[in-house]
């Protein structure tokens, strides 16, 4: 067996990069197949099941449930005619797909998928979670550049929508992660995993303290999950490529392999964000029950645990796509600015109070202070939101104005009035 510990640091780093990038490239076709099959089960229809049916000489057929369908799609896209519009910005047009694909591969640089520090993460930097935020915000550049360079008004509108989504949801995502940074006391992803190996809620010794099972962690996890779905432009936040409004949005003018690169970037980003969610909120490669710690401590055991959590989180993306209709644009903006951001900020403030009370008075007093203060802030938020909604409803309410059309009076506040709007 290779003694990786004796290798030069540069070779160790190269090995870590290959162990992340190559499996990510290979697993994307499987993710596409998994989404199609899962959607077909959820929507009670037939999914891709024709490709990869092998017929033996005896006449017996062996079905592989369409496992080769993504490979067939890749071959089709490779040989498909590559149409390039004439009135485009050629440099930006060709660079945009690569820019959209880059963040998906750069994001996983700080994700630890097992406890073997020689193999993972690629770089255990002190600002790990800030690195994730910085790189994730670069993903929108490929979409915006594609929409601008295509010289198509539908593509441009899709790019602008992606920009607005990023601005609206990046702040709430950052505040949700900031609460976890306060609780773990570090920006490093490896330290976040270590923190979640403590006693659950500080009082249950045989269960690990995954953040999603804590009150503040659950709130942060919900906000983070919604923001991730919006940032990856997945349903119900797929407005940048809304086919009923924008044909195909930012990639309307792309075909063949350039379209395939956009497609690959979307699924790779979904998988990596699912890995970030698993690391920050689900304990990463760690098991929930203490007696099983030994399994997660091995390289293969930790990888299997991490991949199970990541694929389960990825499956939730598909579940939401099959369940929820696309939001209107005003609903998307309202959810980001008026709901998610206030909730994330409130959670951040209350976590700081929880840490202070816990350190000074004890664990139970800290949780009582957390629940009480968060409930109070949430009640204030609902009250303010209710007043704001009433103010808007009053401003939009019809007013009683009498109009005289020469022979009769019409009250515009009466919906049965004839002649209104003529």
pLDDT digits (tens, 9 = 90+) for 248-293: 778 888 888 888 888 888 888 899 999 999 999 998 888 877 666 6
Q: Which pLDDT score, from 0 to 100, does residue 422 have?
A: 41
Taking the C-alpha atoms of residue 50 and residue 61, their distance in angstroms, rounded to an integer, is 11
pLDDT at 275: 93
pLDDT value of position 113? 87
Are the beta carbons of 351 and 369 closer than 8 angstroms? no
Place of tokens 């103010």: 391
pTM of the predicted protein model? 0.84
**Tokens representing residue 16 in the block:** 């870590």
Query: What is the pLDDT, as a whole number, of residue 260?
Result: 86
Cα separation, 67 vs 74, whole angstroms: 13
Residue 275 buriedness (CB in 10 A; 0-12 / 13-18 / 19+): buried
Instruction: Specify the pLDDT at position 397.
Output: 59
Domain segments of the chain as ranges: 83-386
Spans of the chain, pLDDT less than 70: 1-2, 290-294, 296-297, 388-422
DSSP summary character for residue 98: H
Predicted pLDDT at 396: 59
Q: Quick check: helix, strand or coil at residue 68?
A: coil
């Amino acid at each position: 067996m290779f003694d990786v510990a004796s290798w030069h640091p540069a070779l160790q780093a190269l090995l870590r990069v290959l162990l992340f990038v190559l499996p990510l490239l290979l697993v994307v076709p499987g993710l596409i197949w998994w989404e199609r099959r899962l959607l077909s089960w959820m929507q009670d229809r037939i999914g891709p099941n024709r490709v990869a049916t092998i017929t033996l000489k005896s006449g017996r057929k062996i079905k592989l449930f369409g496992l080769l369908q993504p490979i067939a799609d890749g071959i089709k896209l490779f040989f498909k005619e590559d149409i390039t519009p004439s009135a485009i910005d050629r440099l930006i047009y060709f660079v945009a797909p690569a820019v959209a694909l880059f963040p998906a591969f750069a994001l996983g640089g700080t994700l630890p998928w097992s406890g073997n520090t020689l193999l993972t993460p690629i770089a255990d930097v002190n600002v790990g979670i800030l690195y994730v935020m910085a790189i994730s915000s670069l993903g929108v550049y490929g979409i915006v550049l594609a929409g601008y360079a295509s010289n198509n008004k539908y593509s441009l509108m899709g790019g602008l929508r992606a920009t607005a989504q990023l601005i609206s949801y990046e702040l709430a995502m950052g505040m949700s992660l900031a609460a976890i940074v306060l609780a773990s006391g570090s920006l490093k992803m490896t330290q976040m995993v270590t923190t979640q190996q403590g006693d659950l809620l500080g009082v249950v010794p045989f269960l690990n303290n995954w953040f999603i099972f804590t009150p503040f962690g659950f709130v942060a996890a919900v906000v983070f999950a919604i923001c991730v779905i919006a940032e990856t432009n997945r349903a119900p936040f797929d407005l940048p490529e809304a086919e009923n409004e924008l044909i195909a949005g930012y990639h309307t003018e792309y075909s063949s392999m350039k379209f395939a690169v956009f497609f690959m970037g979307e699924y790779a980003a979904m998988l990596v964000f699912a890995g970030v969610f698993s690391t920050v909120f689900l304990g990463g490669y760690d098991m929930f029950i203490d007696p099983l710690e030994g399994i997660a401590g091995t390289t293969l055991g930790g990888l299997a645990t991490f991949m199970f959590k990541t694929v389960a989180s990825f499956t939730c993306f598909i579940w939401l796509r099959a369940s929820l209709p696309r939001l209107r644009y005003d609903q998307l903006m309202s959810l980001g600015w008026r709901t998610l951001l206030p909730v994330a900020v409130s959670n951040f403030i209350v976590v700081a109070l929880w840490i202070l009370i816990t350190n000074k008075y004890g664990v139970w007093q800290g949780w009582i202070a957390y629940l009480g203060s968060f409930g109070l802030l949430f009640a204030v938020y609902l009250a303010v939101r209710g007043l704001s909604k009433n103010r808007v409803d009053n401003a939009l309410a019809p007013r009683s104005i009498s109009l005289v059309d020469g022979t009769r009076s019409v009250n515009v506040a009466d919906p049965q009035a004839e002649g209104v709007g003529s």
